[in-house]
Amino acid sequence: MAVITCIEDLRILAQRRVPRMFYDYADAGSWTESTYRANSGDFAPIKFRQRVAVNLENRSLASTMTGQAVAMPVALAPTGLTGMQHPDGEILAAQAAERFGVPFTLSTMSICSIEDVAAHTTRPFWFQLYVMRDRDFIDRLIDRAKAAGCSALVLTLDLQVLGQRHKDIRNGLSAPPKPTLANLLHLATRPRWCLGMLGTRRRSFGNIVGHAKSVSDLSSLSAWTSQQFDPGLSWKDVEWIKRRWGGKLIIKGIMDAEDARLCVEAGADALIVSNHGGRQLDGAQSSIAALPAIVEAVGKRIEVQMDGGIRSGQDVLKALALGAQGVHIGRAFLYGLGAMGGPGVSACLDIIRNELDLTMAFCGLRDVRQVERDILLPGSYPVATL
């Protein structure tokens, strides 16, 4: 195996090892994918100010996210079908995050269930919730997250309707893959993945099958899912979920300053500036471009985090300099998972930590909590346009 030096190395290896439909599910956006590309591309013009002859001993990346101590201000984002990138993927990613000392967030649309992850970890993880029409199912899902000891609820608001993802449509995405001739021929080129899947019982949506009414198998799951995302979602539902949950609430999917203010009014503990990885509204701003205006709008009234396009520790530092308290990585850790399983997730986190630490040092800082906008070259970064 070639030496792994950066997240791109992990991506290339994952592409070789993960079946096409699941690799494309992770590494694609909606429509023309313009927002998906902008998420990562818009970091490049942002430039650092390099400083010299300052004391760089005893550097620290330790911080907090939503009141939780973290080894660095990075969390693993909720990603659907993680267990199809690698067998038992959610469990392996959660264990890697736990060892490293950063939060892991389990998606409602995960392959491994809440209970599966709780049984294989010792520290609380975060749980991401989609609001479905079946409020009784949501009620019980919140209770399951409480029973599992989840320390924060990440409420995603930007999936009331599903963005058109052309690659998923062409690939006939399903979990597990449908046994068509084309799929079987392709899977024959991924023997490592196939052998791993034969060794696990976790091959469908663990939080839904057997828990939602009338969903007992894959055929009933497909019909249920297509009807369940709720276009009638409102801020009253957010208030109900906050009361029902009773713990730390993080709202994900915020791209507008007015919506950020509504998060404050709803009593959320944090918000995540996110366009769903460019998988929903194609043509929307990148997350890093939207970040400054949202930080300006809410001030210190709520913790602002962000996701979208983070592929390096330098990207993390740029987001922190523009006002984020922390960031979430999705595709970056999925590349590691698909490439090498749990050790690949650890490799991803190690790469980002090393890049973040070195870049912070070149900017003349020893503590990540001291990062401010003045480490960036004026005129190179996006500014608030309220």
Q: What's the pLDDT tens digit per position in 89-114? A: 999 999 999 999 999 999 999 999 99
pLDDT of 224 above 80: no
1 in a structural domain? no
Q: Is 41 annotated as a binding residue?
A: no
**Residues 53-103: tens digit of each pLDDT:** 999 999 999 999 999 999 999 999 999 999 999 999 999 999 999 999 999
What residue numbers bound the domain in which 201 lies?
A: 7-371
228: confidence class by pLDDT, cuts 50, 70, 90: confident
Cα separation, 320 vs 312, whole angstroms: 13
Cα separation, 63 vs 326, whole angstroms: 9
Q: Is 47 annotated as a binding residue?
A: no
168 in a structural domain? yes
381 in a structural domain? no
339-129-170 Cα angle (round to 5): 50
Q: What is the pLDDT of residue 229?
A: 83
152 in a structural domain? yes
215: confidence class by pLDDT, cuts 50, 70, 90: confident
**Residues 157-212: tens digit of each pLDDT:** 999 888 889 988 888 887 778 888 888 889 999 999 999 999 999 999 999 988 98
Residues marked active site are found at 276
Q: What is the pLDDT of residue 181?
A: 86
Q: What is the pLDDT of residue 222?
A: 61
Q: Is 381 annotated as a binding residue?
A: no
344 in a structural domain? yes
Task: Report whether 97 contacts 76 (CB < 8 A).
Answer: yes
227: confidence class by pLDDT, cuts 50, 70, 90: confident
Residue 23 tokens, joined: 């690799």
110-42-20 Cα angle (round to 5): 40
- Highest mean pLDDT: which of 206-215, 218-227, 357-366? 357-366
Cα separation, 275 vs 158, whole angstroms: 8
Q: The domain that contains 300 carries what CATH number?
A: 3.20.20.70
Task: Report whether 254 contacts 306 (CB < 8 A).
Answer: no
Q: Is 25 annotated as a binding residue?
A: yes
**Residues 300-346: tens digit of each pLDDT:** 999 999 999 999 999 999 999 999 999 999 999 999 999 999 999 99
Half-sphere exposure of 213 (CA within 13 A, CB side): 11
Find the helix packing angle between 89-100 and 331-340, rounded to 10°.
Answer: 110
pLDDT of 386 above 70: no
Per the prediction, the chain carries an average pLDDT of 94
Q: Is 80 annotated as a binding residue?
A: yes
Bigger pLDDT: 231 or 15? Answer: 15
219: confidence class by pLDDT, cuts 50, 70, 90: low
Sign for the CA dihedral angle at 60, 63, 69, 74 comes to negative
38 in a structural domain? yes
The secondary element (H helix, E strand) that includes residue 249 is: strand 248-254
**Residues 262-287: tens digit of each pLDDT:** 999 999 999 999 999 999 999 999 99
218: confidence class by pLDDT, cuts 50, 70, 90: low
Structural domain total, the chain? 1
214: confidence class by pLDDT, cuts 50, 70, 90: confident
Give, as one character, the DSSP assignment of residue 253.
Answer: E
221: confidence class by pLDDT, cuts 50, 70, 90: low
pLDDT of 216 above 80: no
Q: What is the pLDDT of residue 294?
A: 98
pLDDT of 225 above 80: no
Cα separation, 353 vs 341, whole angstroms: 19
The secondary element (H helix, E strand) that includes residue 84 is: helix 82-85
For residue 176, cis peptide bond before it (omega within 30 degrees of 0): yes
Bigger pLDDT: 254 or 175? Answer: 254
378 in a structural domain? no
385: confidence class by pLDDT, cuts 50, 70, 90: confident
Cα separation, 171 vs 93, whole angstroms: 25
Q: Is 307 annotated as a binding residue?
A: yes
Task: Report whether 208 contacts 228 (CB < 8 A).
Answer: no
